[in-house]
Amino acid sequence: MKQKGIIVTYVLVFCAVFLVLLGGLFSFILFQLKKNAQKIAWHESLEIAEAGLNYYRWCLNNRVEDICENEKEYLDLDGSQIGILSLEVSSELSCGETAKVNVQSTGWTNDFPDIKRKVASFYARPSVAQYVYLLNDSVWAGADREIRGLFHSNGGIRMDGENYSSVTSAMGTWLCGDSFGCYYPNCPNDCVQDQEEELCRCPGVFTTTGNPDTDLFEWPVSYFDFEKITIDLAQVKEIALPLPFEKYWPPVSDIDVNGKGYHFKLDRNDIQVWVITELSPTESYSYEDDWHDDYFIIDSEYLYKTISIDPECSLIFVEDNLWIDGKLSGKLTIISANLIDPTEKTSIILPSDIEYNLSDGSDALMLTAEKDVLISPIAPNSMELKGVFIAQTGHFGINHYPSNIKDKLELHGAIISYGRVGTKWSSGSHIVSGFRQRETYADPNLIYHCSSFVPVIGPEFEMLEWEEIE
């Protein structure tokens, strides 16, 4: 009996130990299951938060953001709710139009509402400033050129300079003539004789030097529709007319019967508005107008008014020719167009440097001319230009002024030109006018952070700079 009691005691002890161990095992298993469920919830919370960013992008691109919910149920594939997403949205407006949207999205699951993850991004539409050159005509980039940015033309391209990004043409082949350095019948390498046209037929993009990176040449690519980036000048004028801060400037003759145009001198946050009363002629040549006189040199002007740039709507519409130079603080869009007389088209003249006060994206300039954007014959010997320059129906460049040779043109930004660009004129291998050396750099700050009414590449907002916030 005594032995049986001992056995029972041992059994009870072992059972108790076993139960304790089993309970501990079950507790460990339950703990692991809960921990795994929490890990799954942690990952699902991020997916829910990211879904919030995608949801708001859909709202933006379908123009229904005003009715999109700030807090929304998140459903699985079976339609069952598994979590919640919450949005915090702030928009940056320019002249009442959405320019940029900052979104923070927080997500969590129903089972673990305390496990939350937050992600942030901003949405914007890419502008034409992603190109350093966007052209609608054929072009010859000389051997002195240094181009750091996307280069595209709907015409042919002779790229003899250094390129550090893609060079693309919409042409499979094109006819290259004397003005591009192609002298029939001695056509450059890679080109063939077109006996019918008595011109050289060349690939969409070709070179005659060892300077460029030909691996970055591509042709033919899709034609870039310039109509899609053409600014509705009448619409912009309607926006500018009723607004304060002198956003609309009428034909200069409305101010002074002797007026020849406006001269805007940028002085950081202010603009000095000068009325030009006398211009002197300079003999010049251009492909469009042949030999003629340019009236680009200011002989007489007076200060009419000083205005401040409106940070809420940094837009100015000038219904006359415009001369502009100086240093800018902030973002500014200036458009020069004559919508009163359909037979007259205005141009923008660049007499001197255009600089930014800061180079961190805080400052941005867009100049749009109804016709040309042209550099003055008295521009500095070493010239620096910053901004997006758009010649809507004409071209960007400097006309040929005999024996007017300058050292260097440095441009940070983008050139959008309907016609052929030219900043150097040569006869054979000798420069006869323009700039000896030309360097062009894309400004990445302008792609998504540019000033008002910069034409966009596409209508949809893109999600940019994703980050998780702790």
**pLDDT above 60 (res 192):** yes
- List of residues 6+ apart from 58 with CB closer than 8 A: none
In this predicted structure, the answer to whether residue 388 has a pLDDT above a threshold of 80 is yes
The residues spanned by each domain of the chain are 2-127+462-469, 230-449
Q: How confident is the model at residue 9 (pLDDT cuts 50, 70, 90)?
A: low
pLDDT in tens, 337-371: 998 988 889 999 999 999 999 888 788 899 999 99
The mean predicted confidence, pLDDT, of the chain is 86
Which pLDDT tens digit goes with each residue over 110-162? 888 888 888 888 888 777 888 999 999 999 998 888 999 999 999 999 999 99
Q: What gap in Å lies between CA 431 and CA 97, rounded to an integer? A: 46
pLDDT at 37: 65
Which amino acid appears at position 80 of this protein?
S
User: Given this model, what pLDDT does residue 38 score?
Assistant: 67
Closest CA to 392 of 375, 368, 408, 411: 368
325 neighbors 254 (Cβ within 8 angstroms): no
Which of 139-145's residues contact partners 24+ apart within 8 Å by CB, and which partners? 139/420, 139/421, 140/179, 140/180, 140/181, 142/424, 142/426, 142/438, 143/209, 143/211, 144/424, 144/436, 144/437, 144/438, 145/438, 145/439, 145/440
Asked if pLDDT for residue 21 goes beyond 90, the answer is: no
Q: How confident is the model at residue 257 (pLDDT cuts 50, 70, 90)?
A: very high
Could you tell me the sign of the dihedral formed by the alpha carbons of 72, 76, 81, 84, in that order?
Answer: negative
How far, in Å, CA of 66 to CA of 69, rounded?
8
3-state secondary structure of 190: coil
Whether the model pTM is above 0.85: no
Q: What is the mean pLDDT of residues 298-326?
A: 92
